[in-house]
A and B are shown apart, each in its own frame.
Chain A
């Protein structure tokens, strides 16, 4: 039984509300630039204005821990640089939660950013051996080195440059998404002398990898799938299997999908002919990102066995596409960091002299020196033969056109993310569709508001005006807060956010219902409307605070644990609840207090309290 409130000062509360409104409005107006439309424009999400968005999920490291904040920030910077390098303007690259990076480009349905996060890690690896990767059994020993058309070192300067491989090795699509190149693999490898497989009747052609299977497949499952015989046989191989009997045993390997292939040991991937380049190219990102392990990767249908990585993408300071002055050819020049330079020199020395882990006959270049493969993600993007022990002034030559040279340079520059990403969602929404979403969202909000207004007039008569006024006030405050937060915090209003506001309409109207029903209770208990208002307020206030606290908790918890649309929705809900509290305390209550002092309030016809008043009178 709370004591009746003392003298109310509705004027003060209204003045405070006015002050809040004016401060917020001027912050919005003077904080912005340009015309009035620019100043009052809230930050709208892609689903409302059109645009594209790609969500990338950082893969956990070997220790199963999520990436650190610094790693993620570094990755974000690299991705942002890559996006810029592609000439996509006004792209936004943000970290979301503790594992996601979201790239969004507003207002145009641009697919250019789709593969930007996919190319992940860049390594230089010595090419140890190669074989035909079409999935058929090739006779490996007999296959000579790929055609001898390689040009000698074109650079007259002291530093020899790595020559390009016979075939221009840079594929036109950057990023190595595992898609494009794999869809149209060069069917016949160029090495002319490579013996065409005699046993080609065997249906060993790689099966079409179906839609990605469960990425959580384990080695044990793969082992079970191929069977013990095949697994053991594969493990014992020390050269590419060629014997027909052996091939027969290894047949089950052709059935593996891209996820399963990734789990095989590198030697098995290489020595089992049934493991095709098509399967290898489609391995999930990050399948061969361990620099300390050997790896298998493909280039132009040839399957390479690659040494451990002794130089990484991070060792490259700067790569730039250039046109060689003497020959007018496009090349990509490399500058290494001081640390990287030592490693590069020793790698080229080792390759030039074929020291250390020896590369075999099949992998030697035209000049009988080892080749070094530039491996981006799961694929080899270039594999030049090393023409000398190289220093800082190295260039990669090849049949580049402008685009492929730029792409290779970009990959070398920005190719090294410290982690790999899995694309979670890629969405492009046309401006037309976005506009329709916005319209529909606003219409839904309008209809919702109208229904609430009609209902409150029907049920509460003149008191309905208090609801209507407070809804309008809430809407204005919400809009100003949206513009302000959009500018200061980067809050973006999405369709889910609009839905959040619509839901909160119910909450706003509800605190009103609680107050009014309380008011009726008090009058029913025999109080005069004038004394009922403060008493009802004290009791309703407690209920409203409790109930809104619950809403706020829900919004806060949702916001903290979630990302993307969920977070936007939760933010909108929380913001609307806070604004509701402001409106209840600083508008609705003082207005009711003032209202209770008028005669109209006592008239059954206008106040909506009519029946209660009537009953109360009868009861006396």
Chain B
């Protein structure tokens, strides 16, 4: 394997992800803008569950799509001349579906009977689905309550388990995922069904799961970071990112593979319905979740952390210490020691021992060094 792959594998690829956080915030901001524009201008394409309506499914064996469409069309028109129809759709290899505006129960039964006689089918072959307009709204309301509750519970958990900055960053990346996924739905015009809403909620768990694994490593790398001055918080976090990079990619792959299978089967074999709707939203959502856990969550975390005076001081100290060697005319011994001590030097060097090497900064009592 070449250099990069190998370095990736061993976790020292050295991607400057945190360092370029302005870029990532810019990307996120741009996506957010597109998302808001898309949602406000294009909006969503609601499924039958949100609009209310009827859906009839007949097996492909009933005839050609033209025949089926005509039969169903006639049947529906005969009970309700003003009903609107969505043309026949072939669903995978198995069935055709036709959707119409809302019919009553009696009308639905009448339509089914007509379809059965016209197409010479068995009664058991025609499926019907009748949903009221309020149904989708009810599911969505539950979903929103679930979302709010979940964010609350998880935030409390993350604050206890980690710290508030991590909780905030995790929730921010969660919001990012949801908005980005919604934007894709709006832009591409995929239909939104209750199954989509369910899938949407599952992304929550997955997105945070991924972020938590990265933050776990960040926490490990930055434990007691203020005690030493070799690394800034940002650098430690970036290292953690690089160390978990391969894991993130692996996780993404093993999570996306089955969902891809789900989508493939759902769309390819069944054509429409629960499996396809779920597979699609999960695929898109998990994709954005992987992106945000790598390029959004940690940069946000570092940004929040650097607002903390303790971390900010520490970062300034580390940077100052690093900048110092350039100014110091450095003798043979490590200049950093003295430079690191900074302003402490004069005090400590009050009584240089006679005969000591002139260039040596008498920064610290020897005993303190190890």
Residues of A within 8 A of B (CB): 47, 50, 55, 57, 108-109, 111, 114-115, 118, 173, 177-180, 183, 208, 210-212, 214-215, 422-433, 436-437, 440-441, 443-445, 447-452, 455-456, 459, 494-496, 498-500, 502-503, 505-507, 509-510, 513-514, 517, 521, 524, 539, 542-543, 546-547, 549-551, 553-555, 557-558, 560-566, 569, 573, 611-612, 615
Check A444 against B127 for contact (C-beta < 8 Å).
no
Check A449 against B258 for contact (C-beta < 8 Å).
yes
Check B105 against A543 for contact (C-beta < 8 Å).
no
The interface residues of chain A lying within 8 Å CB-to-CB of B260 are: 448, 451
Stretch in B21-29, B33-41, B244-252 touching the partner = B244-252
Residues of B within 8 A of A (CB): 6, 9-11, 49, 52, 57, 59, 79, 82-83, 94-95, 101-102, 104-109, 112, 123-135, 138-139, 142-143, 145-146, 149-150, 153-154, 157, 161, 194-195, 197-199, 201-202, 204-206, 208-209, 212-213, 216, 220, 243-244, 246-247, 250-251, 253-262, 264-266, 269-270, 273-275, 278-279, 282, 286
Check B142 against A562 for contact (C-beta < 8 Å).
yes
Check B106 against A173 for contact (C-beta < 8 Å).
yes
> Closest A-chain residue to B151, C-beta based?
A557
Q: Of A115, A427, A448, A547, which one neighbours B129 at CB under 8 angstroms?
A: A427
- A517-B106 contact in complex given A553-B150, A561-B142, C-beta closer than 8 Å: no
The interface residues of chain B lying within 8 Å CB-to-CB of A573 are: 202, 205
4 smallest A-B Cβ distances: which pairs?
A448-B258, A506-B255, A179-B104, A554-B205
Check B161 against A496 for contact (C-beta < 8 Å).
no
Check A212 against B102 for contact (C-beta < 8 Å).
yes
- A430-B270 contact in complex given A111-B112, A452-B257, A554-B205, C-beta closer than 8 Å: no
> Closest B-chain residue to A179, C-beta based?
B104
The interface residues of chain A lying within 8 Å CB-to-CB of B256 are: 506
The interface residues of chain A lying within 8 Å CB-to-CB of B149 are: 557, 560-561
Q: List 19 A-B contacts (CB under 8 A).
A: A211-B102, A427-B128, A437-B274, A440-B266, A441-B265, A451-B260, A452-B258, A455-B253, A503-B202, A506-B286, A517-B244, A517-B247, A546-B161, A546-B212, A560-B146, A561-B149, A562-B142, A562-B146, A573-B202
Minimum C-beta distance from B200 to chain A (A): 11
The interface residues of chain B lying within 8 Å CB-to-CB of A429 are: 127, 129
> Closest B-chain residue to A550, C-beta based?
B208
Check B258 against A451 for contact (C-beta < 8 Å).
yes
Check B275 against A448 for contact (C-beta < 8 Å).
no
Give Cα A495–Cα B275 distance, bound, in whole angstroms: 7
Check A440 against B265 for contact (C-beta < 8 Å).
yes
Minimum C-beta distance from B189 to chain A (A): 23
The interface residues of chain A lying within 8 Å CB-to-CB of B128 are: 109, 111, 426-428
The interface residues of chain B lying within 8 Å CB-to-CB of A555 are: 205
Check B146 against A177 for contact (C-beta < 8 Å).
no
Minimum C-beta distance from A393 to chain B (A): 36
Q: How many A-B residue pairs have CB under 8 A?
A: 283
Q: Of A173, A425, A430, which one neighbours B132 at CB under 8 angstroms?
A: A425
The interface residues of chain A lying within 8 Å CB-to-CB of B202 are: 500, 503, 554, 558, 569, 573
Check A569 against B198 for contact (C-beta < 8 Å).
yes
The interface residues of chain A lying within 8 Å CB-to-CB of B9 are: 611
Check B142 against A563 for contact (C-beta < 8 Å).
yes
> Closest B-chain residue to A450, C-beta based?
B261
- A513-B247 contact in complex given A431-B124, A436-B270, C-beta closer than 8 Å: yes
Give Cα A427–Cα B48 distance, bound, in whole angstroms: 12
Minimum C-beta distance from B108 to chain A (A): 7
Q: Of B124, B216, B255, which one neighbours A546 at CB under 8 angstroms?
A: B216
The interface residues of chain A lying within 8 Å CB-to-CB of B112 are: 111
Give Cα A151–Cα B125 distance, bound, in whole angstroms: 48
Minimum C-beta distance from A385 to chain B (A): 30
The interface residues of chain A lying within 8 Å CB-to-CB of B251 are: 506, 510, 513-514
- A430-B257 contact in complex given A436-B94, A543-B216, C-beta closer than 8 Å: no
The interface residues of chain B lying within 8 Å CB-to-CB of A449 are: 258
The interface residues of chain B lying within 8 Å CB-to-CB of A450 are: 261
Check A432 against B204 for contact (C-beta < 8 Å).
no
> Closest B-chain residue to A542, C-beta based?
B216
Check A521 against B264 for contact (C-beta < 8 Å).
no
> Closest B-chain residue to A443, C-beta based?
B265
Check A212 against B52 for contact (C-beta < 8 Å).
yes
Check A179 against B258 for contact (C-beta < 8 Å).
no
The interface residues of chain B lying within 8 Å CB-to-CB of A517 are: 244, 246-247, 250
Minimum C-beta distance from A468 to chain B (A): 13
Check B254 against A510 for contact (C-beta < 8 Å).
yes
- A507-B209 contact in complex given A212-B102, A452-B258, A513-B251, C-beta closer than 8 Å: yes
Give Cα A551–Cα B207 distance, bound, in whole angstroms: 10
The interface residues of chain B lying within 8 Å CB-to-CB of A214 are: 133
The interface residues of chain A lying within 8 Å CB-to-CB of B197 are: 566
Check A550 against B205 for contact (C-beta < 8 Å).
yes
Give Cα A288–Cα B164 distance, bound, in whole angstroms: 54
Known: A114-B105, A503-B262, A554-B205. 10 other contacts (CB 8 A): A109-B127, A183-B104, A426-B105, A430-B125, A430-B126, A431-B124, A440-B275, A444-B265, A521-B11, A562-B139
Minimum C-beta distance from A305 to chain B (A): 26
Check A502 against B259 for contact (C-beta < 8 Å).
yes
The interface residues of chain B lying within 8 Å CB-to-CB of A424 are: 131-132, 134-135, 138
Minimum C-beta distance from B153 to chain A (A): 5
- A179-B106 contact in complex given A55-B135, A553-B150, A554-B201, C-beta closer than 8 Å: yes
> Closest B-chain residue to A500, C-beta based?
B202
> Closest B-chain residue to A499, C-beta based?
B278
Give Cα A528–Cα B271 distance, bound, in whole angstroms: 52
Check B212 against A561 for contact (C-beta < 8 Å).
no
The interface residues of chain A lying within 8 Å CB-to-CB of B125 are: 430, 432
Check B208 against A502 for contact (C-beta < 8 Å).
no
Give Cα A517–Cα B248 distance, bound, in whole angstroms: 10
